Homo-oligomer: A and B are copies of this chain.
Amino acid sequence: MTALLRAEPRLITAGVDLLAEAVEAQAADVERVQWSPPMAGSASDLALVMADQRRDSANALALERLLAVRAHLVDVVPAREALGLGRADVLHAGPPLDWDRASGPMRGALMGAAVYEGLAPDPDTATQLIAGGGLHLDPCHHHHAVGPMAGIVTPSMWLFVIEDRSSGRRTYCSLNEGLGKVLRYGAYSAEVIERLHWMSDVLGPLMQQAVRTAGPIEVTAILAQMVQMGDEAHNRNRAGTLMLLRDLLPSLVSTDAASSDIADAARFIGANDHFFLNLAMPACKLALDAARDIPGSTMVVAMARNGTDFGIQVSGTGDRWFTGPAQVPDGLFLGDFGPDDANPDIGDSAITETGGLGGFAMAAAPAIVRFVGGTVADALDNTRRMYEITLAEHTQYLVPALDFRGTPVGIDVTRVVRTGILPQINTGMAGKIAGTGQVGAGLVTPPPEIFPDALSALATLATDHA
């Protein structure tokens, strides 16, 4: 003790800057450590879950399974056939939701879906139909599927079929409609419905022929390349879309379709930088589904929003959703739109962040800041911060700007609760009034309270097990 007092003081400070500054003013060495207390009320749950002897090996197994998945595009088929949807079945993004609690863009998309399927002659009639329980709503996630924004899947829509060749496990996602006035952003005007019909009449069957001829297309390999080419696979899918087009092109040309239809399809895909998003999403879901249902694992396996609620699912707690109110993103707006026009966060696309892409891979996509706001330094910081709450670095998605370090992957509920750092999502913004379409893009985080909720459930299970 005497020796300690006699030596030059060397201090480590955590949290309180005032102390560090006072000591520094006296010319002593200070090592500042970033630290904050765990989220309020979570200390005892945290202790229980951290003490769960299954945790380390369960998380290691979850990661191993996640990283072993190689997603392949193997087919394109109507949802009716792929998922066995009945005439009035409609899937939507996020955790479960009913019409009463649905936000504007979700309502708009459901109205458009009913018109598209011929269940209602016009949007007004559709409203009455849906409000009266005439559609059977269910989350995409409950059917091995994901959908961007409103995430609507109806029986006549064609789906990408993504398969892990070693396990045979499959996931599904609709074909991307483009930007602006589109169903997934809650628009339901005649042009929207017309485009959806062209997609099911022309694009879907053409893609089916091309994919079946081209053979499985390695989506995971394309994602790995994208991260070398400035895409983060949520709001930038430019390189990915171009690579898909390149891979499908020779067989697209060789289909027996009319060359004008082939040219239209090529033009449609080539003009939509986001087309590949609908492959990135089910590829991430495929990897995360492999990591589900491992007792003791604290890894998040889904983050999804329905425009009203933000929900997560955790490997160790099965299919249970932990939900809280979806937040409004902060970002850049199109045209005359502003913050007051934006709906709260919506869509299954946060599956990309859950899988180590999107906001977690922003360091690989500095140009994204021109779309979602912020600076290039912010983009790098976002990725770096996510290492604090994740279990590993992705072995396939390597970030050149970080000297080819893998993206942060495997969100750990305990780390989120302990550090208070929330997953960083970058996302499109839908207009809050049904029928508007896209109003911007920006950054958002989940409601903090869902992580202590999930931790509490994990703590109960840990206690039951012990």
Using a CB–CB cutoff of 8 Å, the interface residues on chain A facing chain B are 225, 228-231, 238-239, 242-243, 245-247, 249-254, 259-260, 262-264, 266-267, 270, 366-367, 369, 375-377, 400-401, 403-404
Q: Are B249 and A245 in contact (CB under 8 A)?
A: yes
Closest to A377 in B: B403
Q: Are B266 and A250 in contact (CB under 8 A)?
A: yes
Residues in B with CB closer than 8 Å to A249 are 245, 249, 263, 266-267, 270
8 new A-B contacts, CB < 8 A, other than A247-B270, A250-B267, A376-B400, are A228-B367, A229-B367, A242-B243, A251-B263, A252-B253, A254-B259, A254-B263, A376-B401
Q: Considering the chains assembled together, what is the distance between the CA atoms of A266 and B259 in angstroms? A: 15
Residues in B with CB closer than 8 Å to A247 are 270
A-B contact pairs, 20 of them (CB 8 A): A228-B230, A229-B229, A229-B239, A229-B367, A230-B239, A242-B243, A245-B249, A247-B270, A249-B249, A249-B267, A250-B263, A250-B264, A252-B253, A253-B263, A254-B263, A369-B400, A375-B403, A376-B400, A376-B403, A401-B401
Q: Which of A245, A263, A400, A404 has the most CB of B within 10 A?
A: A400
Q: Considering the chains assembled together, what is the distance between the CA atoms of A260 and B243 in angstroms? A: 20
Q: Are A254 and B260 in contact (CB under 8 A)?
A: yes
Instruction: Choose among B239, B263, B375 the residue that contacts A239 (Cβ–Cβ < 8 A).
Output: B239
- Per assembly, the copies of the chain total 2
Residues in B with CB closer than 8 Å to A377 are 403
CB distance from A370 to the nearest CB of B (A): 8
Q: Are B246 and A242 in contact (CB under 8 A)?
A: yes
Closest to A261 in B: B253
Q: Which of A252, A253, A254 has the most CB of B within 10 A?
A: A253
Q: Considering the chains assembled together, what is the distance between the CA atoms of A367 and B252 in angstroms? A: 31
Residues in B with CB closer than 8 Å to A401 are 366, 376, 401
Q: Are A366 and B400 in contact (CB under 8 A)?
A: yes
Q: Considering the chains assembled together, what is the distance between the CA atoms of A227 and B48 in angstroms? A: 50
CB distance from A247 to the nearest CB of B (A): 7
Residues in B with CB closer than 8 Å to A404 are 376
Q: Which of A230, A252, A264 has the most CB of B within 10 A?
A: A230
Q: Considering the chains assembled together, what is the distance between the CA atoms of A418 and B189 in angstroms? A: 65
Residues in B with CB closer than 8 Å to A243 are 242
Q: Considering the chains assembled together, what is the distance between the CA atoms of A191 and B249 in angstroms? A: 25
Known A254-B259, A254-B263, A259-B254: A230·B366 in contact at CB below 8 Å: no
Q: Considering the chains assembled together, what is the distance between the CA atoms of A279 and B262 in angstroms? A: 26
CB distance from A386 to the nearest CB of B (A): 19
Residues in B with CB closer than 8 Å to A366 are 400-401
Closest to A257 in B: B253
CB distance from A245 to the nearest CB of B (A): 6
CB distance from A95 to the nearest CB of B (A): 35
CB distance from A201 to the nearest CB of B (A): 19
Q: Which of A250, A263, A404 has the most CB of B within 10 A?
A: A250
Closest to A243 in B: B242
CB distance from A275 to the nearest CB of B (A): 11
CB distance from A406 to the nearest CB of B (A): 14
Residues in B with CB closer than 8 Å to A229 are 229-231, 238-239, 367
